Amino acid sequence: HYYIYKVRGMHCNHCASNAQKAIASVEGVAEASVSLETEEARIQGTFDEEEVRRAVEALGFKLENV
């Protein structure tokens, strides 16, 4: 099962790559993929949503529930 979030504020593939790495580093995230085109993060695992939000916002992006 994937959880899908919007990631706002990305401008390039490097942004998406950094967001993906930050999300993947959160404890409990089994798999993460971030798409610049759709501004979506697809996350699999058992994780604390607030920790994911903090990781993304530390990069200057905004995480939104879909």
Whole-model pTM: value is: 0.96
Six-digit token pair at 38? 């759709």
Whole-angstrom distance, CA of residue 22 vs CA of residue 25: 5
Whole-angstrom distance, CA of residue 13 vs CA of residue 2: 22
Predicted local confidence at residue 63, as pLDDT = 98
Residues of the chain with pLDDT below 50 are: none
Whole-angstrom distance, CA of residue 58 vs CA of residue 5: 16
Whole-angstrom distance, CA of residue 7 vs CA of residue 61: 7
Predicted local confidence at residue 64, as pLDDT = 98
Predicted local confidence at residue 15, as pLDDT = 98
Predicted local confidence at residue 1, as pLDDT = 86
Predicted local confidence at residue 14, as pLDDT = 98
